[in-house]
Amino acid sequence: MEPITLVLTGFIFVVSIVYLFVRSKHNFWKDQGVPYAPNPHFFYGHVKGQSRTRHGADINQELYQQFKQRGVPYGGISLFIMPSLIEEIEMKDVLGRFTTDVIGTCAFGIECNTLKTPDSEFRKYGNKAFELDPVTLTKFFFASSYPQLARKLHVRTTQQDVEDFFMKIVRETVDYRESNNVQRNDFMNLLLQIKNKGKLQDHDTIVGKGEVGLTHNELAAQVLIFFLAGFETSSTTLSFCLYELAKNPGIQDRLRDEITRAIDDNGGEVTYDVAMNIQYLDNVINETLRKYPPVETLTRKPAHDYVIPGTKHIIPEGTIVQIPIYAIQRPRICIGLRFGVMQTKVGLINLLRKFRFTPSARTPERVVFDPKMFTLSPTGGNYLKVEKVV
């Protein structure tokens, strides 16, 4: 065989292999039975012209409109020759599972794994604790208005199966740690110190009653409050924050750039100092809290008569004071603020590093709050399109 014929045959063979390989990549979503954008460019896929003549946002908007017109909630595209998926996700549930895992580790020292197993008991009973049926709502307002009478009548504001589940978890965790002398740097370990010694290690202040600081029931109640307050408020903040970032892509891109720069400057690691020193991240979270405070009203009772500054009016001891945070439009301040903000920051940092969020066909123009939920929650969930950042 002549050399020129041999070279030509080899060239045709290589080109054929490359062609079949690229076509197989472009047919990936079709083979998977996933809705896909048609007519990808052979080399550029569906991003032809990006960074040269068209912004990525314009290309994504065009692809989104194609999927929307076809009535599908997600669709596959090709980034050059690699398949990529733009998927619509209900963010509130995903973020609730993330914060459940974080709180489970920090409060109980337990790996809940609700991100991998959405139907886990932790997620089930955590959700149920915030379901406000008429009976539970009536009990809650009665106990808030007449606490002493409610205590005498043994009125429960938490559903029995929810209480039983968390009491069981606390009992098993306490028994295991005390039997095996397990020491962990978490909330449960601090409560065990108070329960058994009446004080925290290396602290002189006695906390609790008598020789023993906390009874088992008191310890379980503290853990339950920590768990419920921590996972729902942080997941709500994360959900509303991503909603606003999806509606404001310029702010989302700037925040992602600052997150990436801060992590790169720290050797690629996400640390406490990195999370706490991204000023623009603080700005985004604070604005989210201003617009969507997770707890729309704070309820407090003065421990003694209190004179309102600048007036002669006195709030008597024990009077219920309600602070309408949502109406005031300012961020809430609570005992768990730092933990909640840190949890929110870590969630946003890890999400925005890897994903871009845009409105989907089911993303509302205005948020309508769910009247059946105790915390500020969107009616019908928070659906956003999520795509991996290239």
Written in H, E and C, the secondary structure of the chain is: CCHHHHHHHHHHHHHHHHHHHHHHHHCHHHHHCCCECCCCECCCECCCCECCCECHHHHHHHHHHHHHHCCCCCEEEEECCEEEEEEEEEHHHHHHHHHHHHHHHHHHCCCCCCCCCCCCHHHHHHHHCCECCHHHHHHHHHHHHCHHHHHHCCCCCCCHHHHHHHHHHHHHHHHHHHHHCCCCCCHHHHHHHHHHHCECCCCCCECCECCECCCHHHHHHHHHHHHHHHHHHHHHHHHHHHHHHHHCHHHHHHHHHHHHHHHHHCCCCCCHHHHHCCHHHHHHHHHHHHHCCCCCCEEECCCCCEECCCCCCEECCCCCEEECHHHHCCCCCCCCHHHHHHHHHHHHHHHHHHEEEEECCCCCCCCCECCCECCCCECCCCEEEEEECC
Query: pLDDT higher for 35 or 292?
Result: 292
Q: What is the pLDDT of residue 27?
A: 60
Neighbours of 381 (CB within 10 A): 15
How far is it, in rounded angstroms, from Cα 359 to Cα 67? 13
Q: What is the mean pLDDT of residues 294-322?
A: 81
Mean predicted lDDT score pLDDT of the chain? 76
Q: What is the mean pLDDT of residues 192-216?
A: 62
Residue range 141-152, pLDDT digits in tens: 778 777 788 888
Asked if 223 contacts 108 with a C-beta cutoff of 8 angstroms, the reply is: yes
Contacts of 385 (CB under 8 A, 6+ apart): 64, 74, 86, 87, 88, 89, 246, 357, 358, 359, 360
Cα-based torsion angle of the residue sequence 372, 374, 376, 379 in order, rounded to the nearest 10 degrees: -20
Query: pLDDT higher for 71 or 288?
Result: 288
Q: What is the pLDDT of residue 260?
A: 92
Query: Which range has the top average pLDDT, 58-67, 85-94, 234-243, 327-336?
Result: 234-243
Residue range 329-356, pLDDT digits in tens: 654 455 566 777 788 888 888 888 888 8
320 pLDDT higher than 60: yes
Instruction: Report, at the CATH architecture level, how domain 92-246+337-388 is classified.
Output: Orthogonal Bundle (1.10)
Residue range 164-182, pLDDT digits in tens: 888 888 888 888 888 888 8
327 pLDDT higher than 60: yes
The residue among 299, 271, 361 whose CA lies nearest residue 61 is 361
In this prediction, residue 209 has a pLDDT band, given cuts at 50, 70 and 90, of very low
User: Exposed/middle/buried for 267, CB within 10 Å: 0-12, 13-18, 19+?
Assistant: exposed
Q: What is the mean pLDDT of residues 22-27?
A: 58
**Which region among 8-12, 74-78, 202-206, 243-247 has the lowest average model confidence (pLDDT)?**
202-206
How far is it, in rounded angstroms, from Cα 138 to Cα 154? 14
Q: What is the mean pLDDT of residues 317-329?
A: 73
Determine if the pTM surpasses 0.85. no
Looking up tokens 């908007």 gives 61
Q: What is the pLDDT of residue 100?
A: 84
257 pLDDT higher than 70: yes
Write out the two tokens for 51.
């960074």
- pLDDT-above-70 percentage for the chain: 69
Write out the two tokens for 126.
């955590």
Q: What is the mean pLDDT of residues 62-82?
A: 61
The residue among 261, 290, 173 whose CA lies nearest residue 222 is 173
Q: Domain-by-domain residue ranges, the chain?
A: 2-80, 92-246+337-388, 294-328
